[in-house]
Amino acid sequence: MRWESLFEDLEAELAAEFAREKTAEIQETVRVEKARQSFGELLAPQLKAHIEVRLLGGERLHGRLSALGLDWVMLRRGETEELIPIHAIGTWLQRTSGQREGSISGSARFTQALRALVRDRSRISVGGCDGSLLASGTLDQVGHDFMAIALHARDEFRRETSIQGRAFVPIASVAWVRREA
């Protein structure tokens, strides 16, 4: 009988040790998975949530998180859409719950999202990481690391006769691109 209780104690100790090792292994796997998560993946479940973004220049933008790319987010507030590169975000604050099943929109990069605005011929404004307005007009070209904007009066369409100049803006200095209704 003494031997039986000794073996039972040893089996219980082995089972407890196995359970501790399994728990530690699961915790380590979870830590590794969380370490691999990108900022975009963190935001994906928050699609359609109302968020506030504080940019590096101190400016605050808010709206519904309507789209995500690999290196950008889009906020929508009424008819206004703001495309924000992730490199310009200082912090974000979630105001409401998202849809929980969101995902990053394909593999679209910030420059690819800007090229869609070139095709639209939409009037845009571009804000800088320092909080300043960099340019306002029609997006003409998006290169690898820059954008070209045709400058014209707010109440005029982009026509060669109405262009007052062109602004060339490095992508690295862009905090937001606002499509104007």
- Domain-embedded: residue 148: yes
Give all strands (DSSP E) within the chain, no chain letters: 50-55, 60-68, 72-77, 80-85, 89-94, 123-128, 133-142, 146-151, 165-170, 174-179
- Domain-embedded: residue 100: no
Parent domain of 151: 110-179
User: Is residue 104 pLDDT above 60, yes or no?
Assistant: no
What is the pTM (predicted TM-score) of this model?
Answer: 0.75
User: Is residue 162 pLDDT above 80, yes or no?
Assistant: no
Overall domain count for the chain: 3
pLDDT of residue 142: 94
What's the first-to-final CA gap in the chain, in angstroms?
86
Across 14-28, 29-43, 62-76, 144-158, the highest mean pLDDT is recorded for: 62-76
Q: For position 87, which CATH number holds?
A: 2.30.30.100
- The verdict on 66 and 84 lying in the same domain is yes
User: Is residue 105 pLDDT above 60, yes or no?
Assistant: no
- Average pLDDT of the segment spanning 6-31: 83
Whether 45 contacts 103, CB under 8 Å:
no
Q: Who has greater pLDDT, 166 or 31?
A: 166
